[in-house]
Chains A and B, each alone.
Chain A
Amino acid sequence: MATHSVEVPEQFHQTGEQEHHAGEHPAHLAHHFDSMAQQFAAGKLGMWIFLVTEILFFGGLFCAYAVYRANHPEVFVYAHHFLHKNLGALNTAILIFSSFTMAWAVRAAQLGQQQTLRLCLIITLLCAGAFLGVKYVEYRQKWEHGLLWAGWYHPHVTDAEHHGDAPPKPVSPVTSPTAGKATTSQHTPESTAAATAGERSEYPGEPRLAGVFFSIYFCMTGLHALHVIGGMIAITWLLIRAVQGVFGPEYYGPVDYVGLYWHLVDMIWIYLFPLLYLIH
């Protein structure tokens, strides 16, 4: 919503409030809006609707998660032990803190505190970078151990290398909690089971098709990481604009919109953390 032609002589419908008088046209008001309030509200609604699309975009993956967790509970219980719970918790804290600084950045922009605004944006950016750094460490470990999505799943981990707080509990195939659904997949004799790619039995207690978990894991966290990167680009842009000093009590819409997006990214992680790392 950058500056537009300012030479529009007279606004034709005064939808907004009386805050701008004839002759003084706010610098950041686009030509087709009547008032800053109207422009701000429209942009905000636009952002919220974009967040709706994001929710449904991730919704597909949450649906896939629900379906596979319902159908293969033993896989999820087994495979989540390969995720590093502490790193996940650390990342959760980092992201929550970045959300906090982002919210503070909006507040600073509203109050016209330029210094604080810049500081908050920088911290948010650093947190996002730290999040991705931790993510990289996790991904590299998965890659080295062959703990990849179903098609490329070829684990070669020794028990000592498990990252979880406990070594994977041997899941006894027959005593799976939701026996009704799960047992159908476990009656298979080893001979036929070894034939297909996703099925391994080299590890004690490894259920069939354990790669499904990592398919979901990489899709969800990968898509989330892409959103973090997108957020970093947006925040960088905000920072440049903030250094130029364009934001203030009159014009802080972009900070607010990017903030909303960033909080949604945080919110999705708030669900991903327990769903992927804390399976019991």
Chain B
Amino acid sequence: MASQHAGQAHHAGGHVVPGYVLVAVFIALLVLTALTVAATWIDLGSGNLLVAIGIATVKAALVALFFMHLRYDHPFYGIVFTVALLFLALFLGLTLVDVRQTFPEVQAAIENPV
């Protein structure tokens, strides 16, 4: 039944994440933090930004999947989360499409007022 679809996942207290998983995730997060600092020592051009965002995304995914239990929960919570990210991407994407086009004109207009 739809109204209890997510409820069933929590019957009898929900899922208890094993302690070693939490420790492993914690260590992985620290290692990735060190990695993202280390990555700035190498010059990859615009690749640096991608690497930084990529590592951050891996870290965020670890937090979401294990600390926030998405790995064990009913998928609906994950869908809710993903929808938020999709709409954020939409907002960012369409705004950037416009701003990248107009920015040079705006800048020129400011510097050479009519």
Q: Which residues of A contact B (CB under 8 A)?
A: 15-17, 19, 35, 37-38, 40-41, 44-45, 48-49, 51-52, 55-56, 59, 62-63, 66-67, 70-71, 85, 89, 92-93, 96-97, 99-100, 102-104, 106-107, 110-111, 177, 180-181, 184-185, 187-188, 192, 249-250, 252, 256, 259-260, 263-264, 266-267, 270-271, 273-275, 278-280
CB–CB A51/B84 < 8 A: yes
Which of chain B's residues have a CB closer than 8 A to the CB of A49? 80
Inter-subunit contact A19/B12 (CB<8 Å): yes
- Residues of chain B from 5 to 47 with CB closer than 8 A to chain A in the complex: 6-14, 16-17, 19, 22-23, 25-26, 29-30, 33, 36-37, 39-40, 43-46
Q: Could you list 13 further interchain pairs (A-B, Cβ under 8 angstroms) beyond the known A40-B10, A103-B17?
A: A15-B7, A38-B4, A41-B4, A56-B84, A59-B91, A67-B95, A71-B99, A93-B33, A100-B22, A103-B22, A110-B13, A185-B107, A256-B69
| Contact (Cβ within 8 A) B67 A102 | yes
**CB-based closest 6 A-B pairs:** A280-B48, A274-B52, A52-B84, A100-B26, A41-B7, A103-B67
By a CB distance below 8 angstroms, the chain B residues around A273 are 33, 36, 56
Residue numbers in B under 8 Å from A184 (CB-CB) = 104, 107-108, 111
B7, A62: Cβ atoms under 8 Å? no
B67 touches A263 (CB 8 A): yes
Choice from B23, B45, B63, B85 contacting A270 with Cβ under 8 Å = B63
From residue A196, how far is it (CB to closest CB) to chain B in Å? Answer: 9
B6 touches A45 (CB 8 A): yes
Q: Which residues of A contact B3 (CB under 8 A)?
A: 15
Look across to chain A and name the residue whose beta carbon is closest to the beta carbon of B5: A41
The answer on a CB contact under 8 Å between B16 and A274 is no
Among B6, B60, B80, contact of A271 (Cβ-Cβ < 8 Å): B60
Q: Give the complex CA separation of A71 and B40 in angstroms.
A: 22
> Known contacts A63-B91, A263-B67: does B59 contact A40 (CB below 8 Å)?
no
Interface residues of B in 40-96 (CB under 8 A from A): 40, 43-46, 48-49, 52-53, 55-56, 59-60, 63-64, 66-69, 76-77, 80-81, 83-85, 87-88, 91-92, 95-96
| Nearest A residue to B12, CB-CB | A19
Q: Which residues of A contact B108 (CB under 8 A)?
A: 184
Indicate if the CB atoms of A55 and B88 lie closer than 8 Å: yes
Is the pair A96, B111 in contact by a Cβ cutoff of 8 Å? no
Whether A48 and B81, one on each chain, are in contact in the complex, defined by CB atoms closer than 8 angstroms, is: yes
A190 to chain B, nearest CB (A): 13
CA distance A117 to B1 in the complex (A): 35
Interface centre among A249, A275, A280, by most chain B C-beta atoms within 10 angstroms, is: A280
A266 in contact with B19 given A70-B99, A177-B45, A280-B49 (CB within 8 Å): no
* Residues B33 and A92 in contact, CB atoms below 8 Å apart: yes
Known: A15-B7, A40-B14. A263 touches B68 (CB 8 A): yes
List residues of chain A with CB within 8 A of the CB of B9: 41
Q: Which of B4, B8, B23, B45 has the largest number of chain A CB atoms within 10 A?
A: B4
Shortest CB–CB separation between residue B15 and chain A, in angstroms? 8
From known contacts A70-B100, A263-B68, A280-B48, infer whether A110 and B14 are also in contact, taking CB-CB under 8 Å: yes
Is there an interface contact between B104 and A89, defined as CB atoms closer than 8 Å?
no
Q: Mark B95-112, 1 if CB is under 8 A from A, else 0.
A: 110011001100110010
**B residues less than 8 Å from A15 (CB atoms):** 1, 3-4, 7
B111 with A19: CB separation less than 8 A = no
Residue of A nearest to B73 (CB): A44
Cross-interface CB contact of B88 among A59, A89, A252, A279, cutoff 8 Å: A59
Which among B11, B96, B99 is the interface contact of A17 at CB below 8 angstroms?
B11
